[in-house]
Amino acid sequence: MTQRKETVANHDTRLQVVVALPAHTALSGPLTYLHTQPCPAGSLVRVPLGQRDVLGITWEEDSPAPLPPGAAGSEAPPALSARALKPVSMVLPDCPPLNPAWRALMGFAARYYQRSLGEMALAALPPQLRDLSPEQWQRRIRRLQKAQAAAPARGDSPLQAVSAALSPSPQQQQALDTLASPAAHDKPVLLFGATGSGKTEIYLQAAQRLLATDPAAQVLVMVPEINLTPMLLERFTARFGTTQVAAMHSGMTPAQRLTNWLAAHLGQARIVLGTRMAVLCSAPGLRLIVVDEEHDPSYKSQEGARYSARDLAIYRARVETQHGRPCQVVLGSATPSLESWHAAATGRYLRLDMPDRMGGGQLPHLRLVDMSQQPKGAVLAPALVAAMTERAQRGEQSLILLNRRGYAPVLSCHACGWKSHCPSCSAYRVFHKIDRTLRCHHCGFTERVPRACPDCGNIDIAPVGKGTEQLEEQVAALLSGEVRPDGQPLHVARMDADTTREKGSLEAQLARMHSGEVDVLVGTQMVAKGHDFRRITLVAAINADSALFAADYRAPERLFSLLMQAGGRAGRDADLSHQGELWVQTWNPTHPLFAALRTHDFARFAQNELADRETAGMPPFTYQALLRADARTQEAAQAFLAAARDAARTLPGVEHLTLYPPVPMQIQRIANVERAQMLLESHSRPALQHVLSQWHAELARCKALPAAKGLIRWAIDVDPLAI
């Protein structure tokens, strides 16, 4: 597509510019500005909007609008004379335009996830771009150019002066050969590899092969959480060198994010490694996308544009290929999402199996501990304590998994029934003993633990339930008196969001684990996946039953994945793999989920779950969207949703959808904002998208109804993970 350049009387050129405006405003499409000369589509500009200058991107005028005719924001503003149009304030100098493939990705994401084009496109850019002066911008460009000049020439081997690749095992070589075949370039590849099977080495060697053959190629490697980036970043920089790898995640400073984004956008960074935001990064030479731990729900954004980075990675590979640069996408996991597993079973994805661990290591043995047979009040079964002690005395490590941080979920008075409710949320404040606070994990409200019950004055208030902080304390007490082979007392540590909050703390804790300084690690799910702890031979899950009978239909899938991933931390060293064990403390040892877990049979578990979902009409056999409403009162939120439901019934194509009644969300109130939602479901994805795209104008009218007074915001969540 070419951008239309209309010259007016004063020889100015009209440019179409997208800026960050919500989808439900009248100005959500590209806006028209004047400039002294033509400007390529994809150029970064600053333009006046109201009383301020904002960052914008020039766009093709004939590009399809993110919302079709009839939707709020799709109507173009009234025709303006050249005299009424405002001029572009500045074009960012020395910056190549964002290429057509990137712009096509933004257009698709805006349409599919029901956001405005400007919202989606501008959110993908580093925030600091909005604040730099032209002089500051040019200094950054010169600094990057100087660093590029000091780096090896682009034609040199990407492995110059860095470590060589490891020799692949026969299983890895077969996977690499298949990835190089034409069949693996025609459709997404699902790399189904057991924990410890060497998937990361596959990523490294596939990237190495690509970079060695194409001097302009770039690789995008995605991980679900920030805590997984240090280990993977270390492996990639050790293989390719620090100048060719750029990290991208929300834990970086604005300056770091801008520098790394520029390195990727200018093609200087050959490998971009990051969390879900990295899928939106500009990388003009992109030829390979890797989505590690593709099953992880962290790839789905839960605020703003609620996009799935995994799904956008698949679409991005397709659109890059359509624009002339073949791009391959690899989804890696030991426990794939049921959506990906179903896609592979129906032939839409190519599945590569890697069932064996490196070096012939064994997968961990499952030991179920029936808690009904343990001493009353036991936190850890005596046999489990003995097993951890035995391993520590041999110089091995243990991991205890409890997916709840803090000391206790609730503080309670048994005299009057008072509990540590959050005054602003329909949730409890968590007791953190280490700083004697009650902290809400939803709104952040924190206060000191009261000396006595606020209601009755009883001084005997006690914690209810267990968190990682309490578990760490109790494990340390149970293992006190035991010593390591060197005669030193055993060291128990904790790793969760609280202990890794400060800068550098995550890397320091990981280093202590790898060095063997820690004997028993207590942690949440952040330590259960992706980490290569070579000395762990025992993993124990303490509170697994809560997900067995949850209302969320995805809970069994998440539990099975969490337990398999956690168990995969045990016995990763082939010499110790025969001692690897996964202990699960449960009150339901006969549950079918554990039968599949015992044999590490993900295929059996997936087959059963998919059969149940097909019978119940759940994804991936149906397609869903949620309309969420936040308001000052629950009545206003539900009144808006009820009006929206009535309005949706009048839209063409709604007969292919099921519209469910509005209900409060699971956590009904957060920060004094009431929340409700309404589910839409269809057996046809196009039918669902068609109705959603027409709905915006109706939603804008529903918001103005008297019954909806007090509505704060509404949002559409396509393909929700939590209902």
Is 502's pLDDT higher than 90?
no
The ranges assigned to domains in the chain are: 13-99, 135-358, 361-405+468-614, 410-464, 623-718
- What residues contact 128, with CB distance under 8 A and at least 6 apart? 254, 255, 257, 258
pLDDT, mean over the chain? 89
Is 61's pLDDT higher than 70?
no
Q: How confident is the model at residue 401 (pLDDT cuts 50, 70, 90)?
A: very high
C-alpha atoms less than 13 angstroms from C-alpha of 319 in its C-beta half-sphere: 21
Asked if 397 and 472 count as a contact pair (C-beta separation under 8 A), the reply is: no
What's residue 156's pLDDT?
41
Amino acid symbol at 268: Q
Least confident of 146-155, 471-480, 593-602, 685-694: 146-155
Tokens linked to 650: 């009048």
Sheet (strand 245-248) strand order: 245-248, 271-274, 218-222, 286-292, 328-333, 189-193, 350-354
What's residue 153's pLDDT?
43
Q: How confident is the model at residue 228 (pLDDT cuts 50, 70, 90)?
A: confident
CA 643 to chain centre: 33
Q: How confident is the model at residue 23 (pLDDT cuts 50, 70, 90)?
A: low
> Inter-axis angle of helices 100-112 and 309-322, to 10 degrees?
140
Enumerate helices (H) and strands (E) in the chain, giving the number of each: 18, 28
Is 48's pLDDT higher than 70?
yes
Asked if 74 and 65 count as a contact pair (C-beta separation under 8 A), the reply is: yes
Residue 324 DSSP SS3: coil
Cis peptide before 64 (omega within 30 of 0): no
What's residue 64's pLDDT?
42
Rounding to the nearest 10 degrees, give the CA dihedral for residues 496, 502, 504, 506.
0
What whole-number distance in Å separates Cα of residue 361 and Cα of residue 604?
22
Q: How confident is the model at residue 73 (pLDDT cuts 50, 70, 90)?
A: very low
Q: How confident is the model at residue 250 (pLDDT cuts 50, 70, 90)?
A: confident
> Inter-axis angle of helices 134-150 and 254-265, to 10 degrees?
60
Asked if 189 and 336 count as a contact pair (C-beta separation under 8 A), the reply is: no
Is 1's pLDDT higher than 70?
no
Least confident of 233-237, 575-579, 602-606: 575-579
Q: Please state which of the four CATH numbers 3.40.50.850, 3.40.50.300, 3.40.50.150, 3.40.50.10490 is assigned to the domain occupying 361-405+468-614.
A: 3.40.50.300
What's residue 630's pLDDT?
97
pTM: 0.91
Of 31, 33, 525, nearest to 298 by C-alpha is 525
Read off the pLDDT of residues 267-307 as tens digits, 9 standing for 90 and up.
999 999 999 999 999 999 999 999 999 999 999 998 888 99
What's residue 205's pLDDT?
95
What's residue 532's pLDDT?
83
Is 230's pLDDT higher than 90?
no
Q: Does domain 13-99 have CATH number 3.40.1440?
A: yes
What's residue 38's pLDDT?
87
Is 691's pLDDT higher than 80?
yes
What's residue 160's pLDDT?
42
Read off the pLDDT of residues 313-331 as tens digits, 9 standing for 90 and up.
999 999 999 998 999 999 9
What's residue 28's pLDDT?
65
Asked if 532 and 571 count as a contact pair (C-beta separation under 8 A), the reply is: no
Same fold? 361-405+468-614, 623-718: no
Least confident of 21-25, 65-69, 225-229, 686-690: 65-69
Is 688's pLDDT higher than 90?
yes
State the CATH class of domain 623-718: alpha beta
Q: Comparing 200 with 94, which gets the higher pLDDT?
A: 200
Read off the pLDDT of residues 509-556 as tens digits, 9 standing for 90 and up.
989 999 999 999 999 988 888 788 889 999 999 988 888 888 889 999
What's residue 211's pLDDT?
94
What's residue 423's pLDDT?
95
Read off the pLDDT of residues 149-176 as tens digits, 9 standing for 90 and up.
666 544 344 444 355 677 889 999 999 9
What percent of the chain stands above pLDDT 70?
Answer: 92
Of 689, 702, 682, nearest to 638 by C-alpha is 702
Considering the domain delimited by 135-358, tell me its CATH architecture: 3-Layer(aba) Sandwich (3.40)
